[in-house]
Amino acid sequence: MILLDVASWALILAGSAFIIVGALGILRFPDVYTRMHAASVIDTLGAGFLFAGLMLQAGFTQVTLKLLFILLLFFFTGPVITHALAQAALHAGLKPEIDEDRRDRLRDGSLPDAGRQP
């Protein structure tokens, strides 16, 4: 299937392009927090398009299912890791370089009806 090959290669190339762009962003951006934004392009768009292309190559097989599981694993663990990294940097006292601090628009802490039940 030539059409399938074209589509899969387009997706693989798009994914690779986003990974390069993300790497460029990690080099360009000024501090750890902004660099994490660039890294998140890699593990969402980069990995997503790359895996979509690989799934088209594999077709309806067990390989596609395994690729899907890996992608799901990315999407569930990725934000947790990013969050842990950002919070660790803040705890270590690393000040983000920001143009505007809008944090005081809300008081830190719970509102009266804060939901905590599971």
Considering only residues 19, 36, 47, 55, which one is a binding residue for another protein as defined by CB under 8 A?
36
Residue 47 Cα distances to 43, 73, 102, 105, angstroms: 5, 12, 32, 36
The CB-of-3 to another protein minimum distance in angstroms stands at 23
| Residue 97 interacts with another protein (CB under 8 A): yes or no | yes
Among 7, 10, 16, 44, binds another protein (CB under 8 A): 44
Indicate whether 7 belongs to the interface with another protein (CB under 8 A). no
Measured CA to CA, the distance from residue 45 to residue 40 in angstroms comes to 8
The identity of residue 14, as a single letter, is A
Say whether residue 105 binds another protein (CB under 8 A). Answer: yes
Chain centroid offset of residue 1 CA: 32
Nearest to 82 by CA among 41, 21, 27: 41
Q: How many of the other CB atoms lie within 10 Å of CB of 43?
A: 19
- Kindly state whether residue 93 participates in binding another protein, applying the rule CB under 8 A: no
Cα–Cα dist 91/20, whole Å: 30
Q: Is 109 in the site for another protein (CB under 8 A)?
A: yes
The contact set with another protein (CB under 8 A) reads 18, 21-22, 24-25, 28-29, 33-34, 36-38, 40-41, 44-45, 48, 62, 65-66, 69, 75-76, 78-80, 82-83, 86-87, 90, 96-103, 105-111, 114-118
